Amino acid sequence: MPDSRKDVTPQMELRAEDVDALVLGAALLGSGGGGKTIEVGMLLRRSLGTGSVVLHSPHDLDGAYVVPVGVVGATTVLTEKLPSGREFAAAVHAVCQWAGIEPEALMASEAGGVNGLTALVAALELQLPFIDADLMGRAFPRLDQLTWAVDGDHLSPTALAGTSGEIVIIDRAPARTMEGLVRATLRELGGWAAAAFPPRRANDLATSTIHGSVSRAIALGAALKELPEAASAWAIESATGARVLGAGRAFDVSRQKVADGTVGHGHISLRDRDADSIIRIECQNEYLLASVNGRLEAQTPDILCLLERRKLLPVEVDHVRDGDELLALHLPGPSWWWASRARQERVSPRAFGIPSLGEDRE
């Protein structure tokens, strides 16, 4: 719906023809996790029709209450049981009712993976303005890795809406407890739920969110889409601003399945015959750390992607198989995370149980 409050420089708008780029870009920001974006892309395209969504910056909507929304839980179940769109409305209304306010705008809780798209579906459903910002700038697996939780703010109240119409509101829980309570609830709700996080005024979002993450996803996806098949590393780097770590056949793909069906620690290695190098990626739900010939090249919160070598389509962690021809890409992570050591520590490889260098010698 049109914005009536402020008039600013040309607004970026998302139309149906941009969805393909967003599908690709959100998958890149997923860093191998965050769920498959294609199916939600179809949902978004249908929701958009011939219309568009304006991607506002927070200060466009100063003073408005903004609700971050997204899907929580197992994204593999999400693609089997697609959202109807009503779950988001139910969650947003529940959290605003509990907080005693009216929702005035939406934003994504997470820009990487499916949640780079779900908040847009929700904005169309609720006919609310959409703010081009999120609380991760990429994908992370835990709610206590949302920027607000990392900076010490609470996530209460949070509302969950299940696919059968259930509503769960969790309030007065510290961020870590919130993560545990949500996981416990999800087991009962059938794997995933729409989540609406505490509403905040738009002018409070300046330093506590990552700006422009949806437009970044679209730009990345568009750049990738433009590239020809089997593009050279140089072409990929100049088009996307990413760094190519190498390309080759996957071997030594090892992932430990853990009890709840999610992916445990593991690693994937590529043998780059041209560069005579071995690229090794440590992973959990996302790609977390990359080394080339044993030398550390990149780690969270930077973004790592594995793409099909020829078609340059992102491959998720649990879809890599021995023998796949892949290309490893390193994208700079959102600068918000690098701003302090405390922020880095919450999302560093070590936060995922993967030791990195120079930080475990207490």
Partner 1 sequence: MTAGINLSAILQHPHLRDVVVLGGQVSEQKVAGCTVARDIAARVTGIAQRMLVVLYSSNRDDWRLDNLLHRAHQHGAVAVLIQGHAPLNPSTTALADLLRTPILGASDPFAAHRAIEVLIHEPRAHMADLVLAVVAAAQGAGPTLEDAVHRIGEAIARPLFLVDTQDVLVRWNEDISTAALHHAVSAHPSDDRRARWTVHSGGQVFITCPVRSGTISAWLVAVLPERLDTEIEALSAALTTAVAPIGQRLATARLALERDALYRTTLLGEILEGRISEVTRRRALDLGWRLDGWHTGIYIGLDDELDITASRPHVVSAFDNAGMKATVVERGQGWAVWLTAEHELSAKDVQLQATAIRRAHRALGRLISVYVGVGRLHFGPDGVSRSLGEATDAASLARQRPASGRFLHVDRLGLAQLLLAWTRTDTFQPAAMSLLEPLSAELIETLTTYLDSESSVNETAAILGVHRNTVASRITRIQRALEVDLSVADDRLALHLACRAITTPM
Interface residues with partner 1 (CB under 8 A) are: 251-252, 254, 265, 267, 269, 271, 276-278, 280, 282, 289, 291, 293-296, 354-355, 357-358, 360-361
Nearer to partner 1, 115 or 285 (CB): 285
Rounded distance between C-alpha atoms, residue 298 and residue 67, angstroms: 33
Angle, nearest 10°, between helix axes 86-99 and 115-126?
A: 80
197: tokens are 């996080």
Query: CB-wise, 45 or 350, nearer to partner 1?
Result: 350
Report, in Å, the least distance between residue 32 CB and partner 1.
16
User: CB-wise, 8 or 296, nearer to partner 1?
Assistant: 296
Tell me what percent of the chain is helix, strand and coil, each rounded to the nearest 5.
Answer: 35, 30, 35
Alpha-carbon distances, residue 351 vs 139, 142, 214, 257, 341 (angstroms) = 14, 11, 26, 19, 13
3 state SS of 20: helix
Nearest CA to 218 out of 351, 353, 37 is that of: 37
Least Å distance, CB 232 to partner 1, is 23
Q: Which is nearer to partner 1, 5 or 265 (CB)?
A: 265
The residue among 274 and 360 lying less far from partner 1, judged by its C-beta, is 360
Residues forming a β-bridge with 70 = 195
Neighbours of 81 (CB within 10 A): 11
Residue nearer to partner 1 on the CB measure, 345 or 359? 359
Q: Which is nearer to partner 1, 174 or 355 (CB)?
A: 355
We find the least distance from the C-beta atom of residue 318 to partner 1, in angstroms, to be: 18
According to the 3-state scheme, what is the secondary structure of 241-295?
A: CCEEEEEEEEEEEEEEECCCCCEEEEEEEEEECCCCEEEEEEECCCEEEEEECCE
Report, in Å, the least distance between residue 100 CB and partner 1. 50
Return the SS3 of 194.
strand
> Would you list the DSSP string of 49-70?
TT-EEEEE-GGGGTT-EEEEEE
Q: Closest CB to partner 1 among 10 and 358?
A: 358
At 76, which amino acid appears? T
Dihedral Cα 155, 135, 41, 328, nearest 10 deg: -130
- Indicate the residue among 17 and 252 with the shorter CB distance to partner 1: 252
Tell the smallest beta-carbon distance from residue 255 to partner 1 (Å): 11
CB of 260 to partner 1, least distance (A): 20
Shortest Cβ 13–partner 1 spacing (Å): 43
Cβ distance 113 to 33 under 8 Å? yes
Characterize 239-252 residue by residue with b for buried, 16 or more Cβ atoms within 10 angstroms of its Cβ, and e for exposed.
Answer: bbebbbbbbbebee
Q: Which residues make beta-bridge pairs with 282?
A: 267, 289
- Closest CB 282 distance from partner 1, rounded Å: 5
Q: How far is the CB of 295 from partner 1 (least distance, A)?
A: 5
